[in-house]
């Protein structure tokens, strides 16, 4: 049954998303497209509709890998041997580029390919059955909710994208084939972030949002209802526009090689990437390719300023290097325009300081001749801290509750098959049959009709289940300590942990106590965007209701444990322990001690970071840490980034 697909040109607005997809069709070497946005913003609709616009390509006739007839880099081993033997293009056929969808729950065998079981049963010979990475060669690979893709599939995509080749070692088969594809992913950032390694593989990233204007929203409703009422008539109505856009893309592809990338355009690109502090050079190269593709699409003969500006908006936003503490760092076209204007200024020769001065600047000595310890927050200097060596040893128990790596369980996704250990359970029938299939000819002789399976053939399912955890920070925001600096350090740790939350399946939250109460400022989340939003403004100053903070932290973790019973939890308390606000008019310190005992009784893994300048002076933090059986660390013993390493 043919499935009707909503027309690409019928999608209302969302021009940035549509432009990004069009550019990767014009020049697939730009890289993949990542589309981030809210639910119901036509992300999946646009990618699936792209199939109608894809051009026809030449493939080797009869080859299941869609090899190029004359380019050995895009050929499988068999086609390459034939090409080298004949020294001329192989017999060709026309085939439309495809959009192949990768299901979130796909097994590893389905993605990379495996033994052809039917052929093995019939002939007893090992033969390779291609997977999704073979189907998508020279096409588009679409992954919906790519941020939820299991880690083992992410690793496979990263390998294939980097090498352009899929290597398979399966059931005695050693095989490889070309797999060059454009990766297109859609995701909702509120459901978790993408691994940085995978994010870097996307040449273009666009943010899509719901349309605010009532009149345009009305048009969305009208078109969708018309499509649902009579899909055939709606498709016929929009078919001419889709065809015109398809022709425009084909013409742009033909013009691509003739577009001139001028020196001026190159200077603009390099200046923009330099001023925006883009890491590496992939952004520069991708931006240049995108600018050339835009120029070809608009019918220009050479890259213009507007092409560079538009390319920057598509290529650079997800490559901005964000300081974890700088919540205001955002991509803006104003910054791009400022960088472009600088290219018109004469370049002055840089004056380098003498080598002796460089050496002196490497050491910052005080009057005693001792090196001053300086702690840094990522991206900028922090305040000067020269803490004494307190001599207080941390609690002997280690910080538990760390992320649990993926492991074989009886639950979770079926990833691959393995040999059983002991009595076979959860048998992998497909892998067992594939193993047995290779020996049927010798086991059955001639005329056998049933499959003979022996104990050595049996394989069991290796299932992957990755358990995350909830890390809750309970932070003293009162005026009794250098709160701004401690809050900066804590925010940096929270944002760093959120950045790793995709890999670890972690969620991070924040409770702040100051004045007369404690508040859950950041509900446990795995979203960096939500985290940055909630952490943007946190009130500080006032008294220290420590008992209220500990009580709210414990109750929050208990609630999370009820929601996610398999999830590990970790409580991180950041305070100097100087309680001065009681629950019910009693002694504030007694209330804090009672709350600490409840934490110990609940057996919650806890890390207590003492922010007292000299922990020996009062010792409140040390005593509370002992009561709640927490790992104790004075802030003065934490070097830059150590807080992150302790809880990650």
Higher pLDDT, 323 or 454: 454
Query: Which residues form the catalytic set?
Result: 282
Summarize the confidence of residues 608-628 as an average pLDDT: 79
Mean pLDDT of 593-616: 85
- The pLDDT tens digits for 410-430 are 556 677 778 888 777 777 877
CA 239 and chain centroid, separation: 36
Range in 71-75, 209-213, 640-644 with the lowest mean pLDDT: 640-644
Regarding predicted confidence, which is higher, 466 or 261?
261
Q: Which of 78-87, 186-195, 316-325, 437-446 has the highest mean pLDDT?
A: 78-87
Strand partners, 572: 473, 607
Instruction: Compute φ and ψ for 175, nearest 5 degrees.
Output: -145, 150
Please name the CATH architecture into which domain 382-404+467-647 falls: 3-Layer(aba) Sandwich (3.40)
Using alpha carbons, select from 479, 584, 632, 633 the residue that is nearest to residue 595.
584
Alpha-carbon distances, residue 576 vs 481, 483, 620, 621 (angstroms): 7, 10, 7, 6
**Confidence bin at 305 (pLDDT 50/70/90):** very high
Sequence ranges of the chain with CATH classification 1.10.8.80 = 258-342
- Band (259; pLDDT cuts 50, 70, 90): very high
Q: Give the chain's mean pLDDT.
A: 78
Class of domain 258-342: mainly alpha
pLDDT of residue 499: 63
**pLDDT exceeds 80 at position 116:** no
Residues 6 or more apart from 269 whose CB is under 8 A from it?
284, 287, 288, 291, 308, 311
Full DSSP string of 561-616: HHH-TT-EEEEEEEE-------SSSS-HHHHHHHHHHHHHHTT--EEEEE--SSHH
The span from the CA of 420 to the CA of 431, in Å, is 12
Q: Which residue has the higher pLDDT, 219 or 610?
A: 219
606 φ, ψ (degrees, to nearest 5) = -135, 145
335 or 191, greater pLDDT: 335
Residue with tokens 């380098």: 352
User: Picking from 64-73, 192-201, 313-322, which range would have the lowest pLDDT averaged per residue?
Assistant: 192-201
CA distance linking residue 415 with residue 407, whole number of Å: 11
- What pLDDT, in 10s, does the model give residues 289-303? 999 999 999 999 999
Q: Where is pLDDT greater, at 460 or 599? A: 599
pLDDT at 252: 93
Q: Alpha-carbon distance 562 to 141, whole Å?
A: 38
Domain ranges in the chain with CATH number 3.40.50.300 = 24-55+97-210
Report whether pLDDT(350) > 50: no
Residue 217 CA, distance from chain mean position: 31
CATH topology of domain 24-55+97-210: Rossmann fold (3.40.50)
pLDDT of 225 higher than 90: yes
Element (H, E) at 33: strand 32-37
Give the tokens for residue 27: 């020049």
Tallying the residues shown for the chain, one arrives at 648
DSSP letter for each residue of 517-574: EEEEEEEEE--HHHHHHHHS-----S---HHHHHHHHHHHHHHHHHH-TT-EEEEEEE
Give the per-residue pLDDT at 147: 83
Domain with CATH 3.40.50.410 in the chain: 382-404+467-647
pLDDT in tens, 277-291: 888 888 899 999 999
């Amino acid at each position: 049954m043919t499935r009707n697909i909503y027309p690409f040109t019928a999608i209302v607005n969302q021009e940035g998303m549509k432009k990004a997809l069009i550019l990767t069709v014009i020049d697939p070497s730009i890289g993949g497209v990542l589309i981030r946005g809210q639910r119901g913003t036509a992300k999946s609709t646009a990618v699936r509709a792209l199939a109608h616009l894809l051009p026809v390509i030449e493939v080797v006739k009869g080859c299941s890998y869609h090899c190029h007839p004359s380019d050995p880099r895009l050929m499988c081993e068999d086609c390459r041997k034939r090409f080298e033997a004949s020294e001329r293009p192989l017999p060709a056929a026309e085939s439309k580029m495809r959009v192949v969808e990768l299901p979130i729950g796909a097994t590893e065998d389905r993605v990379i390919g495996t033994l052809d079981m039917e052929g093995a049963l019939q002939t007893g010979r090992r033969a390779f059955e291609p997977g999704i990475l073979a189907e998508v060669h020279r096409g588009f690979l679409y992954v919906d909710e790519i941020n939820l893709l299991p880690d083992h599939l992410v690793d496979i995509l990263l390998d294939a994208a980097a090498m352009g080749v899929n290597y398979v070692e399966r059931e005695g088969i050693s095989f490889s084939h070309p797999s060059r594809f454009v990766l297109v992913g859609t995701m909702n950032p509120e459901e978790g972030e993408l691994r940085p390694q995978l994010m870097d593989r996307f040449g273009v990233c666009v943010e899509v949002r719901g349309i605010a204007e009532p009149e345009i929203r009305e048009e969305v409703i009208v078109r969708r209802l018309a499509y649902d009422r009579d899909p055939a008539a709606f498709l016929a109505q929009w078919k001419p526009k889709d065809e015109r856009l398809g022709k425009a893309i084909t013409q742009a592809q033909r013009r691509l090689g003739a577009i001139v990338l001028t020196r001026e355009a190159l200077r603009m690109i390099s200046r923009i990437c330099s001023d925006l502090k883009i890491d590496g050079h992939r952004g520069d190269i991708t931006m240049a390719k995108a600018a050339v593709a835009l120029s070809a699409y608009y019918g220009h003969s050479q890259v213009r300023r507007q092409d560079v500006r538009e390319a920057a908006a598509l290529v650079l936003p997800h490559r901005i290097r964000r300081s974890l503490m700088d919540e205001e760092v955002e991509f803006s076209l104003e910054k791009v325009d400022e960088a472009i204007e600088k290219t018109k200024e004469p370049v002055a020769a840089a004056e380098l300081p003498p080598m002796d001065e460089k050496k002196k600047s490497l050491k910052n000595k005080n009057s005693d001749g001792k090196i001053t310890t300086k702690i840094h927050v990522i991206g900028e200097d922090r305040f000067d801290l020269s803490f004494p060596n307190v001599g207080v040893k941390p609690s002997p128990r280690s910080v538990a509750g760390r992320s649990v790596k993926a492991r074989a369980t009886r639950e979770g996704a079926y990833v691959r098959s393995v040999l059983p250990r002991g009595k076979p359970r959860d048998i992998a029938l497909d892998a067992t049959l594939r193993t047995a299939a290779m020996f049927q000819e010798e086991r059955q002789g001639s005329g056998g009709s049933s499959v003979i399976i022996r104990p050595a053939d049996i394989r069991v399912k290796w299932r992957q289940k990755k358990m995350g955890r909830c890390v809750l920070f309970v932070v003293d925001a009162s005026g009794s300590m250098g709160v701004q600096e401690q809050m900066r350090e804590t925010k940096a740790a929270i944002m760093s942990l959120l950045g790793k939350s995709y890999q670890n399946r972690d969620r991070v939250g924040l409770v702040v106590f100051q004045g007369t109460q404690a508040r859950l400022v950041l509900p446990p989340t795995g979203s960096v965007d939500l985290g940055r939003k909630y952490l943007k403004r946190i009130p500080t100053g006032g008294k220290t209701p420590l008992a209220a903070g500990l009580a709210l932290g414990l109750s929050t973790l208990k609630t999370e444990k009820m929601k996610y019973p398999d999830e590990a939890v970790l409580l991180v308390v950041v305070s100097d322990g100087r309680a001065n606000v009681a629950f019910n008019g009693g002694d504030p310190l007694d209330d804090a001690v009672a709350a600490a005992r409840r934490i110990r009784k609940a057996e919650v893994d806890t890390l207590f970071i003492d922010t007292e300048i000299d922990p020996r002076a009062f010792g409140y933090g040390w005593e509370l840490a002992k009561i709640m059986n927490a790992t104790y660390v004075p802030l003065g013993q934490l070097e830059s980034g150590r807080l992150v390493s302790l809880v990650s």
